[in-house]
Amino acid sequence: MGYFWEYGQIILNLMRLWLLPVLDITLVLLLIYAMLVLIGERRNLWMVRGFIVLILAATLSERIGLGLLAFVLDKLVIGAAVAMAFILQGELRRLLEQMGRGQFAQLLAINPQETPPQTDNVIDELVDAIKELSQNRIGALIILETDRPIDERDFSVPGVRLNADMSKELLQTIFQTTTLLHDGAVLIRGSRLLAAGVILPISERVASRQLGTRHRAAMGITERVDHCICLVVSEETGSISLAERGTLNRPLTSSKLRELLHARLSKRVDRDAVTPQLWSLGKRLPGQALAFFQRLLRFPSSASREKR
């Protein structure tokens, strides 16, 4: 009997030492993951990352015995939590509603029946809109992310946030000369039209006098950011151009534009609409965990700071 008692005590001690901390960390990571799923705006994601860094700093300070620093950081964590409750009240409301309804599958995005939007549909809508804008000689400037999100600090002015489904009707409406947003650029990420009225940096390269401000702006943003392409419709001639890495490919037909867009966008994943599915994370757990922490605590590189 004494043997079983000692054996049980050993198991309980192992649970306290290993299982409970692992469970604690897992639950915290799941909560953070659920918040990141609900939050789609890049500025808010950076704010959540900063809040997590603040919590980690407060915990580390307390563990290593820096009492005064830990006290100050704890107060900052409380203040930051209150501020985030106001800023992210919509996301927090959705989180609490889904938890109250028991919709944990939707909360953690583990429904395998959900399928990502088809890139072909996005390209078709985009090409149809550009074709009609070109025929009507309505100027347009469209930025497409090809790999990862563009830092808003690369723009001269970030523009007006829309975060709407991309459609040819919406694009044609924005670039009508009677609208307030027609002068700037439109930013598209995956199948979402994120912003309009974006002001881009102008290229300093010596270019042909036939190129207007839109073309120079397309060259300027693609010189500064190599993971995007920029589409231009000339207001004077209706010609279609594609800027990439500071170089203009022009003039293009609608069929040639469709071909180029398929080559550059068909393999990318729609980041805003698709979140990692938990049923498949087991096969990719090590790589996903490393990428998660790298993206969670990622800061602007020194190259990007020098560029600005």
Cα distances (angstroms) measured from residue 139 to each of 169, 228, 263:
15, 20, 25
pLDDT(132) > 90: yes
Q: Name the pairing type of β-strands 140-145 and 185-189.
A: parallel
- Assess contact for 188 and 143: CB atoms under 8 A: yes
pLDDT(283) > 60: no
Query: Radius of gyration (Cα) for the chain, nearest Å?
Result: 25
CA angle 61, 66, 70 (to 5 degrees): 55
Average pLDDT rounded to a whole number, residues 268-284: 42
Residue type at position 185 = A
pLDDT(264) > 90: no
Of residues 258 and 116, which shows the higher confidence score? Answer: 258
Domains of the chain with bracketed CATH? 2-112+277-307 (no CATH), 119-265 (3.40.1700.10)
SS3 245: coil
User: What pLDDT shows up at residue 117?
Assistant: 45
Tell me how many helices (H) and strands (E) the chain has.
12, 7
Of residues 196 and 294, which shows the higher confidence score? Answer: 196
Q: How many residues does the chain have?
A: 308
User: What pLDDT shows up at residue 234?
Assistant: 92
User: What pLDDT shows up at residue 86?
Assistant: 78
Interval 58-98: pLDDT, tens = 888 888 888 888 889 888 989 888 887 777 776 677 767 76
User: What pLDDT shows up at residue 299?
Assistant: 46
- pTM for the model stands at 0.53
